[in-house]
Amino acid sequence: MARILVISPSGEVYDHDNVRWYRYADLQSHIDHYHNIGDAFVFDSSLKLLNFEKLDELPISRVDPAAIDRINAEYDYVFLRGSNYIHAQMNWSRAAEVLRLLKIPVIAFGVGAQAPVSGKLELSEDTRTVLKLIADSTTSLGVRGAYSAEVLNDLGIRNVRIIGCPTAFRNNKSDLAIRLPSLDQVRKAGVTLRREVSKTYAQDIRRYLTFHRDLVKAMADRFEVTLMSQGEVEEKKLALGSPEQKAAAMAALRDNAWARDWYLDDQMAELYQSRMFYSDVVAEYEQLVRGLDLVLGYRLHGNLMALANGTPSIYFTYDSRTVEFADTFKIPSVDVFSGQDFRLEDYWDQSRFDRFNAAYARVYGQMRDFLVENRVDNKMVDRQTAEQPRKVA
């Protein structure tokens, strides 16, 4: 069994391969802190695909040559948790210095690039260096989709494999397939919320939030709805805070002119106060989506968690990142900026989900091949033989 390290762990590990936020039981210690629990989904899902006996974090904020010598002697590899690292504002701290001293492989486990709304993606020299050091340490570098692969190709990094995201494969079902019930059987729906959005990546904030509001209201008018937040402070307080914190959260939301004037109308305010869900424990999101008939919305990993558990999901795309995910897995998706209205009936079509089913099987194989070719001891099944891989010597 492997001894491994992780860069950017995003949560504490318990029971070997389960993840929850740090000091999760002491909510009040971090209720005013924004963290995207979707990052913990990726970390948790990554661990569920790997065979390992020991896991530690590789710090990249300091360089300790003696500690790195010990790491080289005692550990088998380090993996970089999949996330949106390839963008203009990325700060790698002292990662390049650390990686130059490592003699073990650095596994990029589904990293991705983020394109700006306009202009060319400009990357720092530090980002270029880190990516090349990672690529040189392994047989292949795993990215989430075609756009990210193209960005790396332009940097001269050719040993790239498109592997999607570990969250899709967290239950290690090589034959997972979404089968739609009739729409009149759908009772419970989850809407994955992303109220906060950057104008750097979303081309029209008003359109984005109008579409967001209308989706929530339409689903609430039709189904028993759960609003699934992933870390914004006000939503977190509305889900789990004290009465005083809930009141303060609503006041903070209404203090924004856009929310007060056209986003947070009476129906939205009532839904925000009565139907909000948040948790610092990944397993609680999984339990939630298993009890829903449909999940749709704006969150990459909230939607992907649903699909991984066999729950139909529809993506609402608004930047290169969401488009890339939907394209990699052929997930039914709605372009928020297309100018078209959304009708659920148009997407409740088995042929759309059959395209996802086929893509899922293909990318599952790519993910397994990626782990095998990089000599990563893993639990994934060879779809050709229906056998799990042999332990790495």
Walk along the chain (393 residues) in steps of 10 and give the mean pLDDT of each run: 96 98 96 96 98 98 97 98 95 98 98 90 97 98 98 97 98 97 98 87 87 97 98 97 97 87 91 98 98 97 98 96 96 96 97 98 98 98 69 46
Please give the structure tokens belonging to residue 270.
Answer: 């009532």
Residue 212 lies in a domain: yes
Distance CA 171, CA 319 (A): 28
Q: Are 225 and 131 found together in one domain?
A: no
Please give the structure tokens belonging to residue 306.
Answer: 């649903």
Q: Are 19 and 119 found together in one domain?
A: yes
Residue 392 lies in a domain: no
Q: What is the CA radius of gyration of the chain?
A: 21
Distance CA 320, CA 23 (A): 33
Tell me the residue type at 123.
L
Q: Would you state the pLDDT for residue 348?
A: 98
Distance CA 41, CA 83 (A): 11
Please give the structure tokens belonging to residue 242.
Answer: 């004290």
Q: Residue 103 burial (CB < 10 Å; 0-12/13-18/19+)?
A: exposed
Q: Are 107 and 197 found together in one domain?
A: no
Q: Count CA atoms closer than 13 A to 172's CA, side-chain side.
A: 17
Q: What is the DSSP string of 102-119?
A: --S-EEEEEE-B---SSS
Q: Are 131 and 192 found together in one domain?
A: no
- Taking every pair of Cα atoms in the chain, the longest distance, rounded to a whole number of angstroms, is 63
Q: Are 251 and 297 found together in one domain?
A: yes
Please give the structure tokens belonging to residue 383.
Answer: 């779809």
Distance CA 362, CA 282 (A): 26
Distance CA 187, CA 357 (A): 23
Q: Are 336 and 215 found together in one domain?
A: yes
Return the closest-CA partner of residue 189 out of 217, 169, 210. Answer: 217
Please give the structure tokens belonging to residue 125.
Answer: 């020299």
Give the C-alpha distances (Å, rounded to integers) separating 98 from 64, 94, 104: 8, 7, 12
Q: Would you state the pLDDT for residue 386?
A: 61
Enclosing domain of residue 218: 183-355
Instruction: Give the strand pairing for 12-14 and 18-20.
Output: antiparallel
Residue 391 lies in a domain: no
Residue whose entry in the numeric block shows the structure tokens 């001891």:
377
SS3 132: helix
CA of residue 344 relative to chain centroid, distance: 24
Residues 6 or more apart whose Cβ sits within 8 Å of residue 65:
101
- Report pTM: 0.96
Q: Would you state the pLDDT for residue 389?
A: 59
Distance CA 12, CA 2 (A): 19
Q: Are 187 and 136 found together in one domain?
A: no
Q: Would you state the pLDDT for residue 51?
A: 98
Q: Are 86 and 114 in contact (CB under 8 A)?
A: yes
Residue 381 lies in a domain: no
Look up the CATH number of the domain holding residue 307: 3.40.50
Residue 259 lies in a domain: yes
Q: Would you state the pLDDT for residue 131?
A: 98
Residue 120 lies in a domain: yes
Q: Are 159 and 201 found together in one domain?
A: no
Distance CA 392, CA 51 (A): 10
Q: Are 288 and 249 found together in one domain?
A: yes
Residue 127 lies in a domain: yes
Q: Are 253 and 189 found together in one domain?
A: yes
Q: Would you state the pLDDT for residue 392?
A: 46
Q: Are 128 and 256 found together in one domain?
A: no
Residue 265 lies in a domain: yes
Count of domains observed in the chain? 2
Q: Are 103 and 248 found together in one domain?
A: no
